[in-house]
Structure formats: C-alpha cells, structure tokens
Structure 1
Amino acid sequence: MQVILTHVRRKLFGVLLCSLSVACVQDSGPMTKGGDTSAPTDALRQRVVYGVDDRKDYYAHSDATLKKFTRESTVALVDVADLDTSNPSSIGFFSQTLQEAQGLCSDQRFLNDPTAAFCSGTLIDNDLVLTAGHCVKGPLSCASTRFVFKYYRTGATTLEPVTSEDVFRCSRVVVRNASTVGGRQLDYAIVQLDRPVSALRAVPAPVRMDSVALSTTTQLAVIGSGSGIPFKIDSGGKVLASRASTLDFFFGDTDTFGGNSGSGVYAKIDGSYLLAGILVRGNKDYVKRVGPAGECYAVNVVTSIGSCTDANCNAESINYVRPAIDAYCAVATNTRLCPAQGPATPVTFDFATSGTNNATRNTVAQNVSLSAGETLYVGTAMVMYATARGDTYLHLDRYETSTNTYTGVASNDDAYDSLSHIRYTAKVAGTYRIRVGCARDSACAGRVSYFIR
C-alpha cells in the first residue's frame, strides 16, 4: 500500500470544468482531498489494475443494475474549495485532468477526465452515506466535504449536469473507525447528510446484512472515483480471500485507485448485487515509464497475484459492511438498517480537568460492571449526549481482585478529531474503570457518555 502525503493546496486558478464538457479543463495544481487540515491528501490509498482493465464509464457499461447504483446511490467526496456553486443550476468543478494530475503517458485511459473527488461513498439510507473511515476523520473534515451525486459521464466528452440539489453537506459523522480493534482491521464511517435525499433523485443501495464471510470467487463490482475521476464501474473482480475468522475485510482483484477509498463494493449473490464492502487500501497506482521523450507514468498492471491467504494477498483490501452497520445500530434507530433493535440509553458523567499528562493523573473516573462478551461504548464523541471541548483522552482499566489494582485494557486519544471514543468487548466479567483526561497537559471539559450492549 502507498499513501500520498502531499499537503499542498490545489491552485484554484484553473478554468472551471464545464458541467457538460471536460474540454475546458486547465492545469490547476496537484490533486487534493478534504480533511482535518487544509485539504490534505494523506488518506488517498493507492490501487491498481489486475490483468485486464475492466473499468468502464457509466454510459459505456451494459449492466442496468450497476448503472442504477451509479446514478442513484454513489457519491463523490469533494472538497468545498473545489466546487463552483455560483450558479445553482450548473455546479462546476475546479480540477486538473487525470493526465495533468498524475503525469500520465499519452497512451493511458481517461486522460482528459477531471480529478475533483478525493474519496467515494454509497447512500445506504435516505440521509446516510457509507465511506472509509480515513476519508472523513471528524468535524473539521465533515465541514469541508461535500457529497456529490451524478458525477459520471453521459458520453465520451460529456458529464451529467450537477445542480445544487445534487450536492450535500456533512451534518455529522455518526460512527467512525480507522484502527485495529481486537485483531480486526476496521476502516469505515457512516455520515449523516444535511438533509434527506429525495427518492426521485436517489435510492439507497441494498446492503448485505449477513455476518458470514463471502465465498472465494464471488463476483465483485465496484463503483467510485478512482484517482478522483468521474464514477467508473468495474464488474470484473472477485473475492480472493475472505478472512472468515475475523470478518473485518476481504481481498479482491478489483481495478481501483486512490480516490476509490470508500467506494461501494457489490457482491453478486444468487444473481443480484448487494453492497458487501468498502474499498480501503491496495497496491501502487502508477509506475514510472522512461523513454526517449522523457518520463511519464502508466497504470500499474499486476499480471500475476500469486497465492492468497487470509494473512497475505497482493490485492485490494475491502472492509466488510457489517461492522459499520453494527456500530451504527448500537447508537441509532433505523428501520432499514437496524430493524431488530434500537439504541441503548446512555449513562453520562461530566468532567473538567487539566494537566493530566494524557489522562495518567488528575483524571475523572467512573466504574462500570461488564459481563464476559458485553461491549462497552464510551466516548467524548460518537455516543449520544457526549460532548467536549479541548483535546480529550480516554482510558479503560480492569480491576484485578488478586492484586487490588487496575490494569489498562484500552485507550484512545483522537478517534474523532481531538475527541475520544472506545469500543471494548470484555473477555472476562468484572469491574472496569473509565478515566477521562486531556491530551498532554492541556485543559479539557465536557460530558462522557457510555452504554453497554
């Protein structure tokens, strides 16, 4: 996996990309993403083509179902600075072409496509978008990101017109994880939009709710904005390794690129496509080509993947959808996604402290009892009623009766920008202690909220 670390802002002196044609795109600097600082690109994960490049534009694909998902359920995550909203009836994009952004050789595909998106996402309810956790990190990136429908080509040189009704703000990040929890490598976020999407304009994708691994060789299709370009459909992939023991992610040979992060991955099961995964990471996108005319870059084509195991596979990593849905249903009520249960009622306690040295002293604490197998959700964010100001730090300790001491079992600093969240499943029953403090020796205050499932 490669991670782009460039933090240079795009120069917005480029000519506005016309909604109906990409011929007017001019050089406008390096491709960027919306984020917690001024549009960094650190979360763009690199990807690659496996064998034949199966990517197709919306207008060129033959599958009516996948075209419907592209048209009605897929969003591009675009930094607000890269949108021209001066005419609500015709939203424009400030963007380089793909060739300019990546320095591509002249024989590569999609050279004149714009590169406005930094991640992709999928509508899973009327006002909810599923994406990768590294795409939207917290309230700052939430505020700077727009979720744009209809970012696809209707012809070789035309884009579907986008109006203000197709552009949505992030109201809040309901749940997010971009970490390893209990041996599971998770990378997801569910974002609530600023308003419901009209059923006449968009329809949520059907979600695979099963808590079982996909079978190897299951056919896959992915829809998203690889390298930031208008939505492409790749329906030529398959599951290579399913990681049935952890059910955190699976490996697939989808032809995907940086900007596909957060893309919906659909599994074809009994003849129907269901949203089964979220694109999160993979191999290097482009490789340097040196010739008499100088240097340029070409798509990295992997001709042989080799053997794949749950532990190691030279392919794309795709998070299962179910962990994100489970996290959401623990904190929210939703008849479409969580028909079996509603959210638990949280318990809260207030705190105000300073000089805690990462919550190792001067902390505010509260004990809870957990049975083996119960899960504690606790945070200064991402739990109902939780709120805080400052940079918070959480610790969770287990009481050891044999020694009359506490042992740390979990901690978190910046799960949600500068705020904290822990999800912990108890292996043994007992008394546990929640401790809240501040990062380093700063001051912080607010309300901790927690519940047990």
Structure 2
Amino acid sequence: MSRVQHYRKTLVTIGAVIAAGLGAAALALSTAGANAEEPSGGGDFDAQIIGGDPAAEGQFPWIVALADASDPSFNYCGGQLVEQDVVLTAAHCTEGSDPADVVIRHGGTDITRTEVYEVAEIVVADGYDGATMANDWALVKLAEPIAGAATVPLADADTKDWGTLTVAGWGTTETGSGSQDLLHVDVPYVTDDECAGAYGGEFDAASMICAGDLEHGGVDSCQGDSGGPLVSADGVLVGVVSWGHGCAEAGKPGVYANVGLLHGDITAALAAL
C-alpha cells in the first residue's frame, strides 16, 4: 500500500517542516492525512481528539509538547516525562533533528501558558525504521530537570486486553489546526489480529499496539499528536502515538509504539543517558 496513505501523526506545514528539521519525507506522509474527510463517529465512543474533550488541569501532569526552538509557539508533536529530565516521544518526531532545533513545552493544559525547556540530547531507538514505522520511539534529554514534575509509569508487559485506553494531545481539531487546549479521548483496545486484519503487513506485532473504534471510527489521535500518550485506566503508559491511515476512520485504528514490548529497550536507553 502506498506510503502516501500511511502517514505519521505529526502536525506540519511546509514552512514548519523546514524549520523543525523533520524533512521532506515527513511532509509527504503527514500532509496526506490532512485532506482526509472528518469522520462522522458513532457507537459507544462518541468523543474524539478531533473536536474532543478538554483535559482537566493535572489530569496528565507529565505530558509535554515538542516545539520548534526558533518559534516555540509552533508545537508539532507530543511526549511524556519518564524522568524529570527525560521525555519519551516518537522517533519520527525527532529523526534528523539537532537538539538545538527542539524545545519542550510543559506545565498545563493551555499550550500558550506552558513553560519552554531547552534540549541537550536526542536518542532515537536503534531499531527505528522510518519506512515501516517499527520501533517508533525516542528519548529527549532536557538541559535541566523540571523540578517537582510528575513522571508517567511505563507498561512493563504486553498485556493482551487493555480494555478502554485514553489518548491525549494538542493535535489537529475539526478546524484543521492544532488545539490550544489539551484534549483527550477514550479509545478501545484493538487486538493484534484485528489490527493485522486492518493493516496487513504494515502492522508490526513486535513493536506496535492499536486502539480505536473499529466498527464506527470517530475516536483517534490525529496530526500533531505523534509522540503523545496512550494510557491505561490506571495511568500506565501503554503506547506512544505513531501512525494511522487517516484519522478516526472506521476499520483503521490508531497505531502506537507498544511500550510493554519495548520496555527493556527503553529502560536500557534511559540508563545509558
């Protein structure tokens, strides 16, 4: 299947791609989804990040946004603090970027009121494959710790039935631009077999996990949410927003880096920072 249809959930414009150092490949993949029709939704899961519910202050105290250092008002990806000076995000959000080109925004649900933090180092997963999106995770080391900041616990096993999960971010809304307010939505876990049925060989069961309303669509992460969290009901980080065909389309769930499966690699990289 064409990689034009299989796009990364990174919020981009032509100028912003150049400024953020994401490269022409990310532009081709990301803009393909920008013209997707807005899903109608339905079923039991009737909210969505596209026009979804605002998060309460403190609901995701560890969530961050990646922004362009030359224009910190442009945030293009999400992430989460796994240590007070380390962010876990998607590899495709950082691939080819110099630490001096990226800043981290943290400290509230209104992105315009968050604080800006400088980046010292970026570590992309050794097994990351930009063509297949396998092992789509990276670590971003801050120049200084964020004193008192909360961190999110990582799933340490590949649980096969997570039930209802939650995804959050400042990504695309129904207006076609990013949201100023942090939004969140509940999404049902999708089994490996179901996800393989939806995406065929594009789904890598060794590094990915899926969530979304297969029958009705209408709930999903979207452009600009890449790198952000997929969390369980008890607040454990299950996945990192990675890719999908369109946003919230029936039969095409969101695909995430599977933190439970990748736990050993992530913690080893953390220890080496």
Give the TM-score, by structure 2 length: 0.71
Aligned: 1:189 with 2:149: no
Aligned: 1:144 with 2:101: yes
Equivalent pair of 1:139/1:172 in contact (CA under 8 Å): no
Which structure has the larger Rg?
A: 1
Aligned: 1:258 with 2:223: yes
Aligned: 1:68 with 2:58: yes
Q: Deviations over 1:319-375 (max 9, x none)?
A: 111455422433453xxxxxxxxx6xxxxxxxxxxxxxxxxxxxxxxxxxxxxxxxx
Q: Kindly state the Cα deviation for residue 36 of structure 1 after the two structures are TM-superposed.
A: 4.9
- Cα distance change, pair 78–42 in 1 and its aligned pair in 2 (3 A): farther
- Cα distance change, pair 127–247 in 1 and its aligned pair in 2 (3 A): same
> CA–CA distance in 2 between the matches of 1:215 and 1:179?
27
Residue equivalent to 1:241: 191
> CA–CA distance in 1 between the matches of 2:96 and 2:152?
24
Residue equivalent to 1:321: 259
Amino acid aligned to 1:35: G
Equivalent pair of 1:80/1:146 in contact (CA under 8 Å): yes
Aligned: 1:203 with 2:141: no
Q: Kindly state the Cα deviation for residue 78 of structure 1 after the two structures are TM-superposed.
A: 1.0
> CA–CA distance in 2 between the matches of 1:36 and 1:256?
20
Equivalent pair of 1:184/1:246 in contact (CA under 8 Å): no
- Cα distance change, pair 76–331 in 1 and its aligned pair in 2 (3 A): closer
- Cα distance change, pair 257–6 in 1 and its aligned pair in 2 (3 A): closer
Amino acid aligned to 2:138: A
Structure 2 unmatched ranges of 5 or more: 1-5, 173-177, 196-203, 213-218
Q: Kindly state the Cα deviation for residue 69 of structure 1 after the two structures are TM-superposed.
A: 4.3
> CA–CA distance in 2 between the matches of 1:180 and 1:195?
29
Q: Kindly state the Cα deviation for residue 34 of structure 1 after the two structures are TM-superposed.
A: 1.6
Residue equivalent to 2:243: 281
Higher strand share: 1
Aligned: 1:126 with 2:84: yes
> CA–CA distance in 2 between the matches of 1:221 and 1:173?
26
Q: Kindly state the Cα deviation for residue 219 of structure 1 after the two structures are TM-superposed.
A: 0.8
Equivalent pair of 1:126/1:197 in contact (CA under 8 Å): yes
Aligned residues: 234
> CA–CA distance in 1 between the matches of 2:187 and 2:143?
34
2:15 is paired with a residue of what secondary structure?
A: coil
Note the aligned Cα RMSD (angstroms).
Answer: 3.5
2:80 is paired with a residue of what secondary structure?
A: strand
Q: Deviations over 1:175-207 (max 9, x none)?
A: 4253189x99221101111111111xx200122
Q: Kindly state the Cα deviation for residue 124 of structure 1 after the two structures are TM-superposed.
A: 0.7
> CA–CA distance in 2 between the matches of 1:322 and 1:33?
33
Give the TM-score, by structure 1 length: 0.45
Q: Of the two structures, which has the highest relative contact order with CA contacts closer than 8 Å and spacing of 6 or more? A: 2
Q: Kindly state the Cα deviation for residue 127 of structure 1 after the two structures are TM-superposed.
A: 0.7
